[in-house]
Chain A
Amino acid sequence: MLLTATLFAPLVGALLVAFVPADRAQPARWVALAASLATLGLGVVLAARFETGEAGFQLGMAADWVPAFGVSYRVGVDGVSLPLVLLTTVLTPLAIAGSWRMTDRPRSYLGLLLVLETAMLGVFVSLDLFLFYVFWEAVLVPAYFLIGSFGGQRRVYAAVKFFVYTLLGGLLMLVGIIALFWLHQKATGVPTFDYDTLRDFDKAPATQRWLFAAFFAAFAIKTPLWPLHTWLPDAYTEAPTTTTVLLAGVMSKLGVYGFLRFALPLFPDAAHWFQPALLTLAVVGILYCALVATVQRDFKTLVAYSSVSHLGFIVLGIFAFNVQGLQGGVFYMVAHGLVIGGLFFVIGMLEERRGTRRIDEFGGLQQAVPRMAAVMLVITLGSVALPGLIGFVGEFLTLLGAFLENRAAAVLAALGVILGAVYLLWAYQRMWHGPLEREENRALPDLTGREWAILGPLVAAIIVLGLFPRPVLDRVEPSAQRVVEQTQASSP
């Protein structure tokens, strides 16, 4: 019940926002913030009730939905999904606070953000494949409108590309889900979309490959894996920045979560069969997108490419099929969510002040806004995985996991660690260091109280979880271990 409340609280908030008279922006903001904070509160209670050390699903709930087709409403969290639920509930109120100054239809905008939150939470907690699919596609709708009607100059192009691309993957997955359902029914006579049942049901390796490929389409596009990534720089760049925070911070985790939760345990033999291909795509993506990021002129696009590059590390960890890789992958998801959220927030704040995101429009900002520069430095260093900050633990564990499984992949991916430092530090140097030459930059105001309220928690988390990652890691480990066991190939 608690989980269900957490899941739908933002949706209720969105309804309440809709009841606010259209000309009253301020109450709408407060209602939206209150709803997202209430969700965060529920998420915290959820985490407090969570039994550390348990591998299976907890705090769940199950009810029939469409019994005739075996569709049920079944939700639950384990060590893998709980951190992602919390990440979502943390980033959403920050994104709402970040949108405070927005004057273009704030009511619709905030309402859509809340709908997006429910949809994404639903993906993380669904334990029925049909329910999962519903939430998966439900994410598209608010995201499409957030990009397409609130975004930048090329918003329609970016939104349509994002929508079509992702929908295409989703539909292929739907085919996979229906085929899986059908195969199970043929074999046992029982119609069900239940996650555990479908996972434990024996599937011939050849069948698994087809089904894996169908799920792969959805997850690889959503992640995105190279070379299916080109919708992302457009979508991230064109979306309003607080939407980009949620897209990059949370939505980018849906694909990798899907691999971890569904593609691996449901089709272990196929996962092994596809492993070399997946590792290859991950490594190519890491290096390729890091190189492409170095020459971007728009800082938002640069961070967008860095996101694709970093997601490659998570895929690498997941497809290592060992506990270090999977546990590190989940931790990396959390770390990446917080860090990239911070990066996009800072970009948004700069854009609010200057109306541009081009790197060469800045320079010497440390003199004008020293506090902002310091915050940005911590976030940047978190992103380049400096030991002692949040990024390191995930990067170390995913690479270690990959190394234990496939040394060549890990060694090549490690080169991406160097490139990551290249593009981020170079950008930092060009924007924050050096002479303050442009007159427009001279009088920029430093961080306001509201901005501190947004960036403060992120910076604190980046430092604290870097030095004390165990509160997260210890909850992930048993569930990651369980996924490792479920992913054992049944036949050689």
Chain B
Amino acid sequence: MLLGQRLRRLAGWLATLAVAAAFVVALAAFLELLSHDAEGRSQILRGYEWFSSGDLRVAFDLRWDPLSALMALVVTGISGLIHLYSIGYMEHDERRQTFFAWLNLFVASMLVLVLAQNFLVMFLGWEGVGLCSYLLVGFWFNRRLLLVNPLGRLVEGEPDDTHEVWAPPAAKKAFLANRIGDIGFLLAMFLIFATVGSLDFDDVFGQATGLASGTATAIALLLFVACTGKSAQIPLYVWLPDAMAGPTPVSALIHAATMVTAGVFLVARTHAFFEVSGTAQTVVVVVGAATALLAALIAIGQDDIKKILAYSTVSQLGYMFIGVGLGPIGYAAGMFHLVTHAFFKAQLFLGAGSVMHGNDDDTDVKHFGGLRTAMPVTFWTTMLAWAAIIGVPLTAGFYSKDQVLAAAFEHGGIGRLAWVVGVLTAGLTAFYMSRYVFLTFFGERRWPEGRHPHESPPVMTAPLVVLGLGAVVAGFVLTTFTGEGGRFQQFLEPVLGAPEEHESLAAAFGLSAVATGVAAAGAVAAYLLYARQVDWLALRRRYASPWRALADRLYVDQAYELFTVTLGGALAAFLARTVDQRGIDGAVNGVAELVGSGARSGRRLQSGLVRSYALGVLGGAVLIVAFLVFRP
């Protein structure tokens, strides 16, 4: 028992050490990779053969190239910090060794995903992270979670502004939405194998350029279906906000920094198909832009701090897809935003977790306010990440968002549209993120009576500091110092190809000035509304119907529920009760009765049920033989 207790305590440290070790190894391998010239930066490690059938051979081969190295570093680095944080966050949980086991399983699956050298092994990781997401979202399978209802206090006298939910339905929703996407992955693999005859990356991408554009479009779009599931884009994004029912470190790691970016990675990895297709690229850009805007709008209407961040993640993922959807000009920008987002969004979630930790697990933004003195470290590090996400110049988010927008503008055509949407979204982002920090850390204290908000222990704040600093400097470091005097882009060039020359400095400066200006306007608007003595709850009541639309997620979830649960359920019930029981089985029983009564009355035999059927059947059979024999 004592050993059990100690083991339980040790589990977190062991798990953290394992991931930290993985990070060190990845770092060493990354430095080794840098010592090669561009051609030598693709290494393949051959593993055992998983299965084979006919021409299909699937082996556990792994690939180490700049793209997988980058992802591996992000995954292990951020995971290590979040593991460390979890030691504090999960301290009082009885099942924490299970928690850490699953968290480690997640890191392993994610590494399989990013290091795979063929589609099937990648799919193993792809569904593996989905499984871990399912397990971890539903980790508190028996705990009543209080969910913030943004419609609360909308009507005077509405007593409670929270409602209870259970984690398991959210976990199942996440798994199923991902399953729908995964079918796209599966069908894409079939089509690839049917066309190319292999699922190995080198074989497939070697022949991708020779594909008919229709085939390439089909493959690319099927893969993108998988991306919309895993990376929470329109139309499958609805699972991600619900997945916030999981413990907050899980939201930070899986549903912000790593797993949900797998779709962006997938587009980058399989960019050959998207380039041949063209149409598919347009789809990616349009979906990315639409998602970015839609999710940013919904984020404004949320009162649950984790939901705000969740919709923010969906929105930021949209930016990444704009980037990688643009083609060579945007790949590096999209991946860059993936990296910087991992820093600042991980920080924001862990900061939110810290707020919850210090406030009795409350997530309702209406119950905070003025926390900056009670939780100084959480406050300051969150402000760093806030600066990054709204794009304050020289922070990481500024660099990466700027690059995505610049690439979109320069791409022209659909890219221009994406640029407009992106700039608009930047303003909305600044608005809802500023709303979040103002309502949480500034202004009057709205804490319920008897609550004593307190700062989290060092094991939790240390990762906050590292991530907060990363959110500020990562952009600067990566644009300047990566590779031999080059930039982030050059490092990825061996995998993603080189774009044509960039626009003039002056134009770029003008573009980023526009985006920054719009973002500043958003932040100021939030300041005026939420940081001064404005009664925003009164405003909310006054403009109840637009507020209700935003708070109710623009009714998308309700529409889905109508289709799947209500209509789908009705169809299933109709099939089961009417078609199956009355129709098909009724017909079977009817025929049986007819034959039975026919046999009884016709022959007046006291035969058992079984024998009369047999006789009837035999008679028919004799007729068939007779036909066969006497057939001309």
- In the assembled complex, B610 has its CB within 8 A of some CB on chain A: yes
**A227 — which chain B residues lie within 8 A by C-beta?**
584
Using an 8 Å CB-CB cutoff, how does the interface string of B611-628 with A read, 1 for contact, 0 for none?
001100110011011011
Is there an interface contact between B190 and A400, defined as CB atoms closer than 8 Å?
yes
**Stretch of B26-34, B167-175, B530-538 lying at the A interface:** B167-175
A401 → B minimal CB distance (Å): 8
Is there an interface contact between B617 and A167, defined as CB atoms closer than 8 Å?
yes
Interface residues of A in 183-227 (CB under 8 A from B): 183, 207, 210, 214, 227
- In the assembled complex, B449 has its CB within 8 A of some CB on chain A: no
| Residue of A with least CB distance to B570 | A295
Is there an interface contact between A433 and B168, defined as CB atoms closer than 8 Å?
yes
Using an 8 Å CB-CB cutoff, how does the interface string of A423-437 with B read, 1 for contact, 0 for none?
001100100111110
Which interface residue of A164, A207, A323, A327 has the most chain B CB atoms within 10 A?
Answer: A164
**A296 — which chain B residues lie within 8 A by C-beta?**
576
Bound CA span A294–B580, Å: 13
Given contacts A175-B625, A214-B624, is CB(A386)–CB(B613) below 8 Å? no
Cross-chain contact of A434 among B166, B571, B584 (Cβ < 8 A): B166
- In the assembled complex, A41 has its CB within 8 A of some CB on chain B: no
Is there an interface contact between B168 and A171, defined as CB atoms closer than 8 Å?
no
Is there an interface contact between A433 and B142, defined as CB atoms closer than 8 Å?
yes
Bound CA span A214–B622, Å: 12
- In the assembled complex, A50 has its CB within 8 A of some CB on chain B: no
**A397 — which chain B residues lie within 8 A by C-beta?**
51, 53
- In the assembled complex, A59 has its CB within 8 A of some CB on chain B: no
Bound CA span A410–B176, Å: 20
Is there an interface contact between B176 and A164, defined as CB atoms closer than 8 Å?
no
Given contacts A295-B576, A399-B190, A429-B172, is CB(A417)–CB(B179) below 8 Å? yes
Is there an interface contact between B176 and A295, defined as CB atoms closer than 8 Å?
no
| Residue of A with least CB distance to B589 | A161
- In the assembled complex, B609 has its CB within 8 A of some CB on chain A: yes
**Stretch of B124-132, B286-294, B368-376, B510-518 lying at the A interface:** B124-132
A340 → B minimal CB distance (Å): 20
- In the complex, how many residue pairs between chain A and chain B have their CB atoms under 8 Å apart? 164
A373 → B minimal CB distance (Å): 9
Q: Number of residues in B with C-beta < 8 Å to the partner?
A: 62
Is there an interface contact between B572 and A295, defined as CB atoms closer than 8 Å?
yes
- In the assembled complex, A292 has its CB within 8 A of some CB on chain B: yes
| Residue of A with least CB distance to B616 | A168
Is there an interface contact between A414 and B168, defined as CB atoms closer than 8 Å?
no
**A473 — which chain B residues lie within 8 A by C-beta?**
51-53
**B572 — which chain A residues lie within 8 A by C-beta?**
291-292, 294-295
Using an 8 Å CB-CB cutoff, how does the interface string of B37-74 with A read, 1 for contact, 0 for none?
00000000000011111101000000000000000000
- In the assembled complex, B442 has its CB within 8 A of some CB on chain A: no
- In the assembled complex, A393 has its CB within 8 A of some CB on chain B: yes
Given contacts A295-B569, A434-B142, A434-B166, is CB(A167)–CB(B54) below 8 Å? no
Which interface residue of B52, B167, B569 has the most chain A CB atoms within 10 A?
Answer: B52
Cross-chain contact of B138 among A178, A288, A291, A433 (Cβ < 8 A): A433
Bound CA span A179–B128, Å: 53
- In the assembled complex, A312 has its CB within 8 A of some CB on chain B: no
Bound CA span A230–B581, Å: 8
Bound CA span A393–B614, Å: 41
B200 → A minimal CB distance (Å): 15
- In the assembled complex, A418 has its CB within 8 A of some CB on chain B: yes
Is there an interface contact between B183 and A415, defined as CB atoms closer than 8 Å?
yes
- In the assembled complex, A388 has its CB within 8 A of some CB on chain B: yes
**A425 — which chain B residues lie within 8 A by C-beta?**
172, 175-176
Given contacts A295-B573, A421-B175, is CB(A411)–CB(B187) below 8 Å? yes
Interface residues of B in 549-606 (CB under 8 A from A): 568-569, 571-573, 575-577, 580, 584-585, 588, 592
**A163 — which chain B residues lie within 8 A by C-beta?**
610
Which interface residue of A168, A323, A474 has the most chain B CB atoms within 10 A?
Answer: A168
Cross-chain contact of B142 among A183, A367, A481 (Cβ < 8 A): A367
What are 27 A-to-B residue pairs whose CB atoms are below 8 Å?
A: A167-B613, A167-B617, A178-B625, A207-B628, A230-B584, A231-B588, A296-B576, A324-B54, A327-B53, A364-B142, A387-B126, A393-B51, A397-B51, A399-B190, A400-B189, A400-B193, A415-B183, A417-B183, A421-B176, A425-B175, A432-B141, A433-B166, A434-B141, A435-B142, A473-B52, A477-B52, A477-B53
Please name the 9 residue pairs, one residue from A and one from B, whose CB atoms are nearest each other, closest first: A433-B168, A403-B190, A230-B585, A175-B621, A323-B54, A433-B141, A292-B576, A291-B572, A387-B124
